[in-house]
């Protein structure tokens, strides 16, 4: 079964704060409105764009989404 994007992102928690993926993971964890069960690029991307939070950066999201997609594509 495919993990939600949120659960995938949590694997980056606790990493080096200079890593934007780790900062994104911590911010997603602290954000109670983050779409935690979603596997939809459109839904998550839209949420991040409307949130406009520096910690939930679109560049970190794009990088994480690429890794997520490759991991769960099959």
Domain count, the chain: 1
Query: Is 51 part of a structural domain of the chain?
Result: yes
* Inside any domain, residue 34: no
Report the candidate in 68, 34, 32, 29 with the shortest Cα–Cα distance to residue 48.
34
Establish if 17 belongs to a structural domain: yes
- Segment 39-49 mean pLDDT: 95
The residues, ordered by sequence, that sit 6+ positions from 19 with a Cβ below 8 Å of its Cβ are: 12
State the average pLDDT over residues 49-65.
89
Domain around 62:
5-29+39-72
Residue 14 lies in a domain: yes
63 occurs within a structural domain: yes
Q: Are residues 7 and 68 in contact, defined by beta-carbon separation less than 8 angstroms? A: no
Q: What is the pLDDT of residues 5-23, one digit of tens each?
A: 999 999 999 989 899 999 9
**Can you tell me the distance from the alpha carbon of 16 to that of 49, in angstroms, rounded to the nearest whole number?**
24
């Amino acid at each position: 079964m495919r993990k939600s994007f949120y659960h995938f992102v949590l694997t980056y928690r606790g990493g080096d704060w200079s890593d934007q993926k780790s900062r994104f993971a911590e911010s997603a964890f602290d954000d109670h409105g983050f779409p935690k069960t979603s596997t939809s690029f459109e839904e998550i991307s839209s949420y991040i764009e409307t949130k406009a939070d520096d910690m939930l950066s679109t560049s970190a999201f794009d990088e994480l989404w690429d890794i997520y997609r490759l991991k769960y594509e099959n």
